Structure 1
């Protein structure tokens, strides 16, 4: 990421510039928006006798004694007295300069938390400075900034104060707009947050609901909305193939399906079909809970492209998921006389080369694959539609690379992204505001709800007995092995150990093992055997998280469920309940549970609706983790909170359009202030 160099900062050495860069500070203007975490009140003095244990206070007095004590450990012990009493200050780590500063008879000011010590009130490692009787008190609360090793608070305060005095603080919001929104001027808000007067309670500032904070948060949301809106408008200005088609292939598939489309599927399909007929690139997110039937909607979109004379490609993040998509599409489309190419890194070179040649010639119109689709030899000269499943698993550059596979010059393919992780409304309004969104909010009929049970690891034998009974009664089951994120090798060992233990405990069952290190052919064979009912039980790592569809599987055990994220648990649970039989998901957990682990298990136990789970997940993890900020390429919000500031987000959406239309230079200045060089690859 290119940033402005830190040269030319007053009082900033190259070494300090390097440390400031760790805080994302590259220029004096960046310091303006480096806002305090909290405040300390150094505007008043507390008599020593009135200082309350457990609270921070500032006291002033004369050093009565200063000595180095060696017991119970080496420390500097200082007694400071004022007219009301005496306080002990202790430093476990100290320097000769501190001893000199704290010589007997010196007048000093101490700031720190008071606590009850062996000799009465004391402070440990307080902030200290020498003063004279004439020295006044600060007129504002003292800001405490986010920092990093080697950058002292005093350094940050000095640099920020200089920036406030030397950098322009223009207000890019038109006055009438600002007054309508009831927000203070930008310069006033910024100065108040860096130097709040003592009559503003620190608590009001720290909960970030003060009008000054609301102005800053509104401006941050506004810059984000402008950025996303510009990305959206830039794409609308590009040319894409207008793929209306005759509708013949789409009608043929719908008529041949053994099931009827749900209302939600018909609605989403109508939105996508209308987009594909337009001459600018579709950028649509198809969002639906686990099992809501996204694949058939994607198949209809691909058929509309083929019907209009173009190619369509579907990319999935794992070989298992890509192969499942390929098998489904091939089964649906073969009766229509359409062949679907299948590309993955594991395919034999000769078969792969033949398909690549047919794709490059335009003879093959449909292709499904993993990231192998975006490798160099693949050419899709008539690519009109790119479909990306589980889009959050792909980096922004990978999605861009798939679109660039089209050889049609200035023509941009349409893009349909699919996600089984529902996105809460506030997140869709902010991080996904540049996308059109279609939602599948109903499940196909015939799906049975999944009952979720929380079971302690201590009752493992009971779980195995239940699993035996279910399999002998003709059902199938999954056993998901513990997640060990630090090491794929350890995860593999855990899976093999679990498989061996279950084979020993359940000799009467046919058991398969599935993990990421298996060769592609072995994975396919194991999955095919499980789908055909030849295996009772599939022991697997999280490779089965998405795409595995076996209606007869009605029991799942997730071992060490407390290690998994909410989205993963919900995805895994969605592998059962795909038929009409009553389905159960057993979450085995180990004690003691961490607070976060307990919170996640409580949510997954209480909710089956993916949207409700997503809202809780957003609350627990925050938006950066939820959207996978590194993957999306999207700058994260630093100060605004999507739930607490939903009203500001609504206002920012409306104002963004107004500024882009009526005040484009103000819109550009806002983006420069907040995003700098980081607008980057928004939603490629």
Structure 2
């Protein structure tokens, strides 16, 4: 019988919690900041507000009970005296801080009525040589003291295999950058890591903090290369898989039938993207394409044409959306377009969600299994085990960032013939900035719909203080008199003590009172599905004048008669979410507006990030420009959505400032995979461990 695994102490458990399992993980766990313990400063020379290290003798030590219990210690370094105050302390502290002890103390010097003070400084008994390098302060968790973490990291750094994985003669990763900055020295990986864990005291702290130092450049270059290699490996592995080539069977004409039945002509961008997708579907390797387009650019009709291609070839197609409201919207639209064309063929569009009644669900499952359902539209219910397709060949995922890696993998496993993979088309209305497409989506082919259909009116965006709320309600009344409809979006459903926000329920009551004779509806995520559908139906049919909602209407809802969007506490929303919400209006010919109501609360003005978001919304309607600014404001994290649980976020490199290093990595990755596959494998394993597996989704 195998011996049980050894028990871990709390600090070892804390290391695992930080993801520090391998020696290389410890070596790559870099400091948050540094403390300078390499020099002693005389108290008489220390300026107020400066953090210094002193060496001094304890002349007085007592626990006082005036007001709050505290340990007060007086020290003298021969040039001046200073009081050390501790509001939290242990008996061991009192023992170390006894009268007569000689200490090294590091803390911020404060002035005051009682003379110089340090609150909760770091201290230890004096003795031994001063360090020759800055002392690292690492990111940590509860139960993991810095001293333990420093020893663990140092051990990991000494043991980690850090041999060079960059191929001989590869283009220098940072020569161009270094020439610009005047920092000429290239570092090996071991030198770079040793330096960053223990930098010399004379190094520029600015170069360390903004990560422009050449040691940082080496790390960022290696990290970007690992990411590019893993993306390229995933793409090449997928290209070795087989998928059904989707060529139309004799007599099939669903695609042409749909084009002839549409009440509008496709834009040039839709035609181009449709051809890119059709070319992919004709190949015997699985398509893995991301379709991006601004709100209202017409991605659904492109997806419908792709579905027709699969059905014309005798296969099934599935479309998965993140919410029932969005899935229902797609279902209605696709049924309207396709049902008249499918019915003569004995085929139908099936609908599958978690809230269906048992009888209806059983009926849909039978239609899917028999192949009668040529197209299946639904939520994550589409990928549940009981759903068996007769021959699924194409999976369409709308708002793909809202789905996890495991969900996408489950959808790919639905083909009856295990030797074949389904084609995958993912859609997003959050355009991907170029640097993001080059890095996190480098394993995908990206199609872009970069024009809006004709007839869409530009949306005027106004940023208004909440104090002018009554004026906004007057504007609503005028819009209703003209026969228009209005969305009013709130960030919360119920009152919260933590956030003093006006909730959807209260707003619904206030607007109902302020607008007598107008039907004001309420929609939020905690309502029953049938109730949500009923409310949405009244609004879609034009019976309801105002819809008060939480962000459940963020994507997909299409009511051309709605011409005004009010977003309450707009300062609380992300930029891409604000843009998505704004896209619910301006879908018809009427002039449309979006009002961003903001509140500063007790603060004199909005925070810098909130101001930047609202300014961007007021200045542009272009989703690609919005996406670029969003990346600038908050980094790549939220853009990736569920891909975060797959491709690891970059820890060191920054997509905006390190675009040159990204270009270098993109250029080197294919050469390295072709000519030095063993080094490439070693490099990816070092940086990503097993995480690269997620890219297969």
Relative to the length of structure 2, the TM-score reads 0.90
Judging changes above 3 Å, is the alpha-carbon distance between structure 1 residues 250 and 231 closer, same or farther for their aligned structure 2 residues?
same
Match of 2:672 among 630, 654, 659: 659
Q: Cα distance, 1:241 vs. partner? A: 0.7
Instruction: Tell me the CA shift for residue 238 of structure 1.
Output: 0.6
CA apart distance, 1:330: 1.8
How far the C-alpha of 1:445 sits from its partner, in A, is 0.7
Which residue is equivalent to 2:694?
Answer: 681
1:641-660 equivalences under 5 Å are 641-660=654-673
After alignment, is 519-528 or 357-366 more displaced?
519-528
Distance 2:559 2:363 in 1: 32
- Equivalent residue in structure 1 for 2:89, among 82, 86, 94: 94
Matches within 5 A, 1:156-305: 156-177=149-170, 179=172, 181-182=174-175, 183-245=186-248, 248-305=253-310
Deviation at 1:14, TM superposition (A): 2.5
TM alignment of 1:578-657, pairs within 5 A: 578-592=587-601, 595=607, 596-629=609-642, 632-657=645-670
Of residues 339-348 and 219-228 in structure 1, the stretch that sits farther from structure 2 once superposed is: 339-348
Which one of the candidate residues 474, 477, 483 is aligned to 1:465? Answer: 474
Q: Which residue of 1 aligns with 2:117?
A: 122
Shift of 1:257: 2.1
Contact 2:69 2:87 in 1 (8 A): yes
Name the structure 2 match of 1:568.
577
Query: 1:577 and 1:128, CA in 2 relative to 1: closer, same or farther beyond 3 A?
Result: same
Task: Please state how far the C-alpha of 1:6 moved relative to its aligned partner.
Answer: 13
8 A contact 2:493–2:505 mirrored in 1: no
**1: CA distance between counterparts of 2:8 and 2:545?**
67
Check the 8 A contact 2:490/2:502 in 1, yes or no: no
SS state of the match for residue 240, structure 1? coil
CA contact (8 A) 2:403 2:642 kept: no
Distance 2:642 2:315 in 1: 33
RMSD: 2.7
Secondary structure of 1:120's aligned partner: coil
Asked whether 1:150 is paired with 2:143, we answer yes
In structure 2, what is the Cα distance between the partners aligned to 1:580 and 1:263?
21
Q: How far has the Cα of 1:462 moved from its partner?
A: 2.1
- The answer to which of 249-258 and 229-238 deviates more is 249-258
| Distance across 2 between alignment mates of 1:125 and 1:501 | 51
Closer, same or farther in 2 for the Cα pair 1:106/1:337, shift >3 Å? closer
> What's 1:327 paired with?
332
SS at match of 1:447: coil
Residue of structure 2 in register with 1:503 after alignment: 512
List gaps (5 residues or longer) in structure 2.
176-185
Cα distance change of structure 1 residues 486 and 277 upon mapping to structure 2, 3 Å threshold: farther
Displacement of 1:343 in angstroms is 2.1
Give secondary structure in 1 for the equivalent of 2:220: helix
Deviates more, 1:112-121 or 1:228-237: 112-121
Task: Give how far 1:496 is off.
Answer: 4.0
**The 10-residue stretch of structure 1 (508-517 or 645-654) with the greater mean CA deviation from structure 2:** 508-517
Work out the CA distance in 2 between the residues paired with 1:492 and 1:314: 36
Shift of 1:180: 5.8
The alpha-carbon deviation at position 185 of structure 1 amounts to 0.6
Q: How does 1:522-537 map to 2 (within 5 A)?
A: 522-537=531-546
Structure 1 counterpart of 2:452: 443
Paired residue for 1:355, among 325, 341, 364? 364
Gap change, CA 1:363 and 1:94, over 3 Å in 2: closer
Preserved contact between residue 381 and residue 408 of structure 1 (Cα < 8 Å): no
Conserved? CA contact 1:392–1:632, under 8 Å:
no
Listed one character per residue, the Cα deviations across residues 644-677 of structure 1 (whole Å, up to 9, x for unaligned) are 2121112112222222212222222222222223
1:318-359 per-residue CA deviation (whole Å, 9 max, x = no partner) reads 122112112211222234345322222334443433332232
Return 5+ residue gaps in structure 1 as ranges. Answer: none
Deviation of residue 205 (structure 1)?
Answer: 1.2
Q: Residue 126 and residue 525 in structure 1: after superposition, are their counterparts in 2 closer, same or farther (change >3 A)? A: closer
Kindly indicate whether the alpha-carbon contact (under 8 Å) linking 1:269 and 1:301 is maintained by their aligned counterparts in 2.
Answer: yes
> Which residue in the other structure is 2:178 paired with?
none
Residues 394, 631 of structure 1: 8 Å contact kept: no
Cα distance in structure 1, aligned partners of 2:495 and 2:399: 23
Residue of 486, 490, 494 corresponding to 1:481: 490
